[in-house]
Copies of this chain bind each other. A is one copy, B any other.
Amino acid sequence: MKTDGFYSFVPDIRIMNQNIKDQIQAINQYIDTLAYGEHPNELYEPLRYIMSLGGKRLRPLLCLLSYQLFQKDWERILPQATSIEVFHNFTLMHDDIMDDAPLRRGKPTVHEKWNDSTAILSGDVMLVKAYDLLLDGLSIDPAQTIRRFNKCAAEVCEGQQIDMNFESDDNVDIDNYIEMIRLKTAVLLGYSLELGALLAQADQNTSDQLRQFGELIGIGFQLKDDLLDVYADQGKFGKQAGGDIIANKKTFLLLTALQLADDNQRITLNEWVQKTEFNAEEKVNQVTAIYDEMGIRELTLKKMNEYFDKGLSLLQQISASDTVKQNIIEFTQYLIDRDK
């Protein structure tokens, strides 16, 4: 599914500062120490496999950064930060079955390498292991922490179901879409930041603000992803140009185009959406031409910037370490500027 937000995003680690690099390395080292379980191997090997595929551990990183707004000793919350990454990879393992995706980060998906049943069951046990990690050396109220995680986890499932519903729903509007990507992608970023703050004993109001910050940049990030799918330099982006267009994915771009189209444009767009046989390149070129005609790229950038700006201005209001805040701002800027 292409509304996967950070799912497929691997930032260029070279441009990050040393501090952030160190933390990503610590997360990876911590992940390498985790056994999860031993027997049967068929259950736990897929878990270790998907966790070893990499990605740049953005969610645990955001959790560590948020913690450091208030406290220094981030090493002690590595289990909690990593529990988010385990949960995230659980959703990937199950989403890949639902999407029948052959590849994840350039490697065979679990259901391809093993089979659907193994991917279902290994995913299930991953969710259980995420709860275990969340409790490891936990220094704050466990019941409240688990409740907070439960809420986030249920919302991610809701977002995925709504996304699936969209495929056969002809009445999706832009607000529906934003709410879907909020649930499917952004709430987990919000939770990552909120958890970091709660673990650092920040007050509820501040933790709430950080959660909102995470949700806002999460929505902005997904809009950037939608944009890159159509307008990225394909050499850098490394995905099929216009995959969303080919699949009639109801992205912000398509929904905005359909909303603002004049009669001719709407007829042409709907024709392309309804065609069951077509030349993919032609479809991408024609639909992109309509987007260009309508200024959809600029409208999406504007919307994306609104979310990032709202997020950053929220972040500015939080009383916390300015150095770390600067780190988070730089990282957010990096997400805005990325070209792949």
Contacts and interface: CB of A to CB of B under 8 A. Distances in A.
B121 A124 contact: no
A154 B37 contact: yes
A146 B132 CA distance: 8
A121 B40 contact: no
A288 interface: no
Contacts of A158: 37, 39-40, 43, 125
Contacts of A283: none
Contact of A131 (B94, B146, B157): B146
A127 interface: yes
Nearest to A160: B121
B43 A157 contact: yes
A164 B122 CA distance: 13
A150 B121 contact: no
Contacts of A138: 143
Interface string A137-155: 0100011001100100110
Nearest to A179: B39
A99 to B, nearest CB: 9
A120 interface: yes
A127 B121 CA distance: 12
Interface in A143-178: 143, 146-147, 150, 153-154, 157-158, 160-162, 164-165
A161 B42 contact: yes
A22 to B, nearest CB: 30
A40 B162 contact: yes
A48 to B, nearest CB: 14
How many monomers of this protein are in the complex?
A: 2
Contacts of A117: 97-98, 164
A129 interface: yes
B153 A128 contact: yes
A37 to B, nearest CB: 6
A256 interface: no
A166 to B, nearest CB: 10
B40 A161 contact: yes
A314 B75 CA distance: 46
Contacts of A132: 147, 150
Contacts of A121: 94, 98, 157, 160-161, 164
A336 interface: no
Interface of A: 37, 39-40, 42-43, 94, 97-98, 116-118, 120-121, 123-125, 127-129, 131-132, 135, 138, 142-143, 146-147, 150, 153-154, 157-158, 160-162, 164-165
A-B interface, 10 closest residue pairs, ranked by CB to CB distance from nearest: A142-B143, A98-B117, A43-B161, A125-B157, A128-B153, A142-B142, A40-B161, A132-B150, A128-B154, A40-B162
23 contacts: A37-B154, A40-B165, A42-B164, A43-B161, A94-B120, A94-B124, A97-B120, A98-B116, A98-B117, A98-B121, A121-B157, A125-B153, A125-B157, A125-B158, A128-B154, A128-B157, A131-B131, A132-B147, A135-B143, A135-B146, A135-B147, A142-B142, A146-B146
Given A97-B116, A97-B120, 7 more contacts: A37-B158, A40-B165, A42-B161, A118-B164, A120-B120, A121-B164, A132-B150
